[in-house]
A and B are shown apart, each in its own frame.
Chain A
Amino acid sequence: EDQVTQSPEALRLQEGESSSLNCSYTVSGLRGLFWYRQDPGKGPEFLFTLYSAGEEKEKERLKATLTKKESFLHITAPKPEDSATYLCAGGTTDSWGKLQFGAGTQVVVTP
């Protein structure tokens, strides 16, 4: 069964304290690993797409990496505005339309 698992469920960081979020997947025929950010009361917003093992993408203080079994979202020197829930999702070749989301990691960055 296709599954996307995120850890930890919640993460509390001091401003400037770097950390990493994990997304492990057992999606057969993975066709894209996606990272989204969700602020309270809002819909998810797209961050990154990764397609192949070894691929990395960066945006400001965020860097996403992909291996054959998992993806990491690294937050470098976070600021309070990085506080959000981060979601990862896997798309499969079995069904172009389906997208499997993880439960998310809630990140709180305190000043």
Chain B
Amino acid sequence: KAGVTQTPRYLIKTRGQQVTLSCSPISGHRSVSWYQQTPGQGLQFLFEYFSETQRNKGNFPGRFSGRQFSNSRSEMNVSTLELGDSALYLCASSLSVAGRQETQYFGPGTRLLVL
């Protein structure tokens, strides 16, 4: 079974631009979560989508948004990019089955550099 895939793997943007990152979860997984990882702040939770609905949200500004499609694929968008948005953006998927302790499977990440 293929793992979580993320595209693109690397991206360079300039301040003020916007960016869209894509994540394809493991087949059959219905939950997709997004994380931002920086050297200073570590791994931080952005949001989680399930059945095309945002179910959980971290403490990030509204410039960070996402969506999930009917096939569970997810996109994350960052508008009006700032230098501090340079980070590794990670996507993780889970089965999301009630009554079970879940494991999140992470993708390789998208490295975003904002100049």
Instruction: Answer yes or no: are A and B bound together in one complex.
Output: no
**What is B's interface to A at a CB cutoff of 8 Å?**
none
Binding site for B on A (CB under 8 A): none
